[in-house]
Amino acid sequence: MMNKQTYQSMEQHITLLGWLYIVTNILLILIAGFVLMVMVGAGAVSGDVEAVRIMPVIATAVGGFLTALALPGILTGIGLLKRKPWARIAAAVLGIINLTNFPLGTAVGVYTLWILLQSEAADHFLTAKLA
């Protein structure tokens, strides 16, 4: 059982973690849009007929891939903010994956694991589930 101060501290950490997942993954979607524009623009500026036809296809694939990578993080962040028990597991999995994404992803991954692997976090999500 947690005391009130520990509960409030964990609540703040989980809220921050939820927002970190939402913001970092929205940034990834913005990067995807930037990459899309740059690649299409590069194809158009090259003047090469083949590049003008191929670059939008490649840019759409890359942008779509980056967006697809970002969506689970945004959904997990929302789940953390709502204290959904599944979000704790999803965030732990994404945290492990994020460790390879240096430097921002690594920091978020370490913070995720540090917070969510504490027994107080499990108690917090259990309490939120029952409330």
pLDDT in tens, 75-100: 999 999 999 999 999 999 999 999 99
Global confidence as pTM: 0.87
d(CA 50, CA 42): 12
Of 88, 64, 65, nearest in space to 76 by CA: 88
Degrees (nearest 5) of the Cα angle 98, 104, 110?
55
- pLDDT, tens only, 18-71: 999 999 999 999 999 999 999 999 999 998 999 899 999 999 999 999 999 999
In eight-state DSSP terms, residue 52 is H
**Does residue 127 have a pLDDT over 70?**
no
pLDDT number for residue 5: 76
76 burial (CB, 10 Å; 0-12 / 13-18 / 19+) is buried
pLDDT confidence band for 129 (50 / 70 / 90): low
Q: Which residue has the higher pLDDT, 107 or 122?
A: 107
d(CA 14, CA 53): 46
In a domain, 95, yes or no: yes
Distances (CA, A) of 116 to 27, 35, 95, 128: 23, 33, 10, 14
In a domain, 59, yes or no: yes
Write out the residue range of the structural domain in which residue 83 sits: 11-130
In a domain, 36, yes or no: yes
pLDDT number for residue 47: 86
Q: Which residue has the higher pLDDT, 94 or 120?
A: 94
pLDDT number for residue 121: 85
In a domain, 6, yes or no: no
Residue 90 near residue 97 (C-beta atoms within 8 A): no
Count how many domains the chain has: 1
